[in-house]
Amino acid sequence: MTPPEGAEQFLAVHGWDGARIDALAGDASFRRYFRVADGDRRAILMDAPPPHEDPRPFVEVARWLTDRSFAAPAILAVDLARGFVLLQDFGDARMRETVDAEPQATMPLYEAAVDLLVALRAHPAADLRPYDRAELQREAGLLTEWYCPAIGVAPDVAGYVAAWDQVLARAAPQAPVTVLRDYHAENLMLVGADRTLGLLDFQDALAGHPAYDLVSLLQDARRDVDPSLEEAMLARYRAATGEGDAFLDAYHVLGAQRNAKIVGIFTRLWKRDGKPRYPTLCPRVWGYLERDLTHPVLAPVARWFDDNLPPEWRGDPMAIATAKGIA
């Protein structure tokens, strides 16, 4: 990736004249990231180009988090018109690669990630849009909008909406919290010698149910989370918060909703955006979804899947479409 036009000027204005700009990564959106180096100084340049991206939500949530002593990147400089944000550099140590390379670190790091969510829920939600039933229903609909057509299936969409209507009331929070919405091992950085968990990718935060981010962590679309680890971390969270069976119901409803949404999004990234890596992640997501559907609270949704998407139609949409001759 080449640095965006105007990046050098932006950096010069803010005290980084002549700094080296090295590409880091993009993500599933239009955002791109670059490391800026000037001698011993390091920073991260986020390129969130308008009109596709708006960096203001990221900046606002970052400041809300840091004001409450959570480790979000400090905002060093902003140019909203160009979509540039200069951020504190958390380094290269991510939770994902650390637990993959150091199995003995898995339990303590997941415990720390769960404990962070317990701390987050102690604060009233930030001033954010509600993660309400209408939004959850819209997101769940991404599966029928993108996945089903991609594999040549014409589902009962009205029945799908009705099934979700029967269960989403179980995911209504009594006291909304700040939901980061993409809280998983690839968005958690290990900062400093004490491996403080640094937060990334929270620009889509909403005010919703505290179970959502726990699902995001423990039903991770990008890495396998062993069911025994999920069970242990659920128990840890519930012990710390006193949550009972209603929370467990909400956890699995939101798990099924999130995983259905992700299957739709990953299919859209392939079909619309030309990113063929994402369909290959869908079998893992289907595995989580099928585990959630075994819970009695999700019986109406489970029946819909049995009637409309039997097991042989659940998996990598690109592979299924190829096998059916429609890719």
Q: How confident is the model at residue 236 (pLDDT cuts 50, 70, 90)?
A: very high
User: Quick check: 89 and 44 in contact, CB under 8 A?
Assistant: yes
- Dihedral sign, Cα of residue 48, residue 176, residue 297, residue 233: positive
CB 43 within 8 A of CB 89: yes
Neighbouring C-beta atoms of residue 293, cutoff 10 Å: 21
Cα-based distances in Å from 295 to 248, 249, 291, 303: 10, 8, 8, 12
Structure tokens at 273: 């955006």
Cβ contacts of 241 within 8 Å, gap of 6 or more: 118, 121, 210, 247
Where residue 27 falls among pLDDT bands split at 50, 70, 90? low
What tokens appear for 287 in the block?
């595995």
- What's the mean pLDDT in 305-312? 97
Residue-level pLDDT at 28: 56
Mean pLDDT, rounded, for 6-29 = 88
Q: What's the pLDDT score for residue 29?
A: 66
Q: Residue 104 has what pLDDT? A: 96
Q: Which of 71, 21, 24, 110 is nearest to 200 (CA)?
A: 71
**How much is the pLDDT for 225?**
96
Distances (CA, A) of 53 to 9, 80, 81, 318: 20, 10, 11, 28
Q: CA 240 from chain center: how many Å?
A: 23
The predicted pLDDT at position 148 comes to 98
* 21 DSSP β-pair partners: 36
Euclidean distance between CA atoms 134 and 62, whole angstroms: 26
Sorting pLDDT into bands at 50, 70 and 90, what band is 193?
confident
Choose among 203, 191, 194: nearest CA to 89.
191
| Mean pLDDT, residues 174-191 | 96
The tokens for 165 are 């209507």
Average pLDDT (213-233) is 97
Cα–Cα distance, 118 to 112 (Å, whole number): 10
The pLDDT assigned to 3 comes to 87
CA triple 221-226-229, angle to 5 deg:
110
**pLDDT reading at 183 higher than 70:** yes
Average pLDDT, the chain: 95
Closest by Cα among 67, 62, 193, 61 to 128: 61
**pLDDT at 213 (0 to 100):** 98
Nearest CA-CA partner of 222 in 141, 294, 280: 280
Angle at 143 between CA 324 and CA 318, to 5 degrees: 30
* pLDDT score for 300: 98
Is a pLDDT exceeding 70 seen at residue 327? no
Identity of the amino acid at 179: V
Among 11-25, 158-172, 224-238, the minimum mean pLDDT is found in: 11-25
Amino acid in the structure at residue 109: L
102, 109 in Cβ contact below 8 A? no
- As given in the structure block, the two tokens for residue 210 are 């505290």
pLDDT (average), residues 280-309:
98
pTM for the structure as a whole: 0.93
pLDDT confidence bin for 24, thresholds 50/70/90 = confident
Run of H or E residues at 84: strand 84-88
Express each pLDDT in 82-115 by its tens digit.
Answer: 999 999 999 999 999 999 999 999 999 999 999 9
As a whole number, mean pLDDT of residues 51-65 equals 93
Q: Residue 131 corresponds to which amino acid?
A: Y
Can you spell out the DSSP letters for 145-169?
Answer: IIIHHHTT----HHHHHHHHHHHGG
User: Is pLDDT of 2 > 90?
Assistant: no
The pLDDT of residue 192 is 87
Distance (Å, rounded) from C-alpha 190 to C-alpha 209?
26
